[in-house]
Amino acid sequence: MHIPDGILPITISAAGYATSGAATWYSLRKIGQKENAQASVPKASLLTAAFFVASWIHIPVPPTSVHLVLNGLLGAVLGYYAFPAILIGLFFQAVMFQHGGLTTLGVNATMMGVPALLAFFIFRLRRVVGKESRWAVGLFGFLAGAAGLGIAALIAWGLLINTIPAHLDVEAERASIYALTLAHMPLIVLEGIFTALVALFLHRVKPEILED
């Protein structure tokens, strides 16, 4: 769902860079406030690479297979490092695989990164129930994963529908929005389930990863 170059008007691309800049600034500030920010740079960096690779895992969805986005899980695990991680991951994808775009880097980063940060906040809410509780990890993991993809998809489709130079009639426009949302529902659920499963795995094997 990365938006490639050439489709969006320059005002949107520029706005995307502005919002990305703001989100990056916010994230770096929050990171700088932490005690041992320096120690967490290698952690965040290697996890960024690991998430990038993890999104290559094929999930069979007959008749084909899909690659999950995992921005919700990334948010849950990396916290404030999530936005820089997504920015870097998208940069690698654009440059190495021509997936997504460079003029649209800001837009894509905002589209994936802001939901990732929101997923972090959602996942953190499990403290209300009790951090050690397994079902809280599972439930909030699911919510974080679903929200991560769901909000990103909403932003993506909203952008595409509203900015592509088209002379669509209202009917066609509404129909296409419904169709796209419907098509994404199963993926959103899948993403939520997968995120919950990985969160439960991490909670069992290496709970420190899920610490804030």
Partner 1 sequence: MIDGLDKYAHLRSSLHRWDPRYKLVGLITLMFAFSFVQDLRLLPAMLAVTSGLYAASRMPLAFLLTRLRTPGVFVIVVAILWPFISGTTVIARIGPLSLRQEGTLAMGLIVVKFISILTISLVLFGTAPFLTTIKALRALGLPPILGDMTLLAYRYLYEIGNDLKTMERAMGLRGFRAQWLSSRALGVLASLAGTMLVRSYEQSERVYKAMILRGYGHSSHPRDQFHRMVCIRAHPRDWAGLVGVFLVAAGFVAMEIWLRGSGG
Q: Which is nearer to partner 1, 44 or 136 (CB)?
A: 44
Residue 170 CA to residue 160 CA, distance in Å, equals: 15
Rule CB under 8 A: is residue 5 a binding residue for partner 1? yes
Question: Which residue is it, tokens 């932490």?
Answer: 34
Residue 181 CA to residue 1 CA, distance in Å, equals: 13
Rule CB under 8 A: is residue 10 a binding residue for partner 1? yes
- Reported in sequence order, the residue ranges of 62-195 that DSSP labels E, i.e. its strands, are 64-67
Summary count for the chain: helices (H), strands (E): 7, 2
Q: What is the separation of C-alpha 202 from the centre of its chain, rounded to a whole number of angstroms? A: 19
Here's the x/- map for partner 1, 82-101, by CB under 8 A: it reads as --xx-xxx-xx-xxxxxx-x
Rule CB under 8 A: is residue 59 a binding residue for partner 1? yes
Here's the x/- map for partner 1, 154-183, by CB under 8 A: it reads as ----------xxxxx---x-----------
- Using the rule CB under 8 A, which residue among 20, 103, 108, 110 binds partner 1? 103
- Using the rule CB under 8 A, which residue among 26, 121, 178, 201 binds partner 1? 201
3-state secondary structure of 61: strand
Q: Which is nearer to partner 1, 49 or 128 (CB)?
A: 49
